[in-house]
Amino acid sequence: MNIFIGCSASEYIADKYTEDCKIFLEELFSLDNNLVFGVCSKGLMGLSYDIAIRNGRLVKGICPLLYIEELKKIRCTEEEITKTIGARTDMLVQESDALIFLPGGIGTVYELFSAIEWKRSHEFNKPIIIYNSFGHFDKLLEFLDVI
C-alpha cells in the first residue's frame, strides 16, 4: 500500500513527538507499506523517510520547485517535481492509497484540510488517519466538531 505521510518538516519538533511517531512509523513500515511524501530530510518527514528506507520500502518523493534543493539531499525510488505546493498536494493524494497525518504545522494542516474537503466532496474515498500523538491535534479536532 502507498501511504502518504503528512507531518512536520521542521527539525524543531518536540522530542516527545519524534519518539512516539518513531514507534508508529517502525510498525507501519515493517508491514508491506511504501512511503509517498513531500520530500524533506528534517523533522518527522525525514524520520518517515529514514524508517521507510531502513525497512526496504519504496519511496516516492513529490517535490515542488520551491524545495528542489531538499530533493538533492535524499534518494527516492521515484521522484516527481511540481511547479507549486498545491500541485504537490494534489499529486501526493493521487499517488497514495491512504493518508496519515502526524504532528506538524501549517503545511500539515493545509494538506489535512485539503484531503478532508476532497473526501467531503466525493473527489476521493481514501482513508484519512490523524495520528494524534500527545494530543497534538486536540484543538483542531475540537474545531472540526463545531463547524
pLDDT tens across 53-110, in order? 999 999 999 999 999 999 999 999 999 999 999 999 999 999 999 999 999 999 999 9
Neighbouring-strand partners of residue 130: 101
Q: Which of 37, 50, 39, 42 is nearest to 10 (CA)?
A: 42
pLDDT digits (tens, 9 = 90+) for 3-21: 999 999 999 999 999 999 9
The span from the CA of 128 to the CA of 120, in Å, is 11
pLDDT digits (tens, 9 = 90+) for 37-54: 999 999 999 999 999 999
The span from the CA of 6 to the CA of 100, in Å, is 6
- Planar angle of CA 116, 55, 92, nearest 5 degrees: 25
Which residues neighbour 11 within 8 Å (Cβ) at sequence distance 6 or greater? Answer: 42, 43
Burial of 40 (0-12, 13-18, 19+ CB in 10 A): buried
pLDDT at site 1: 97
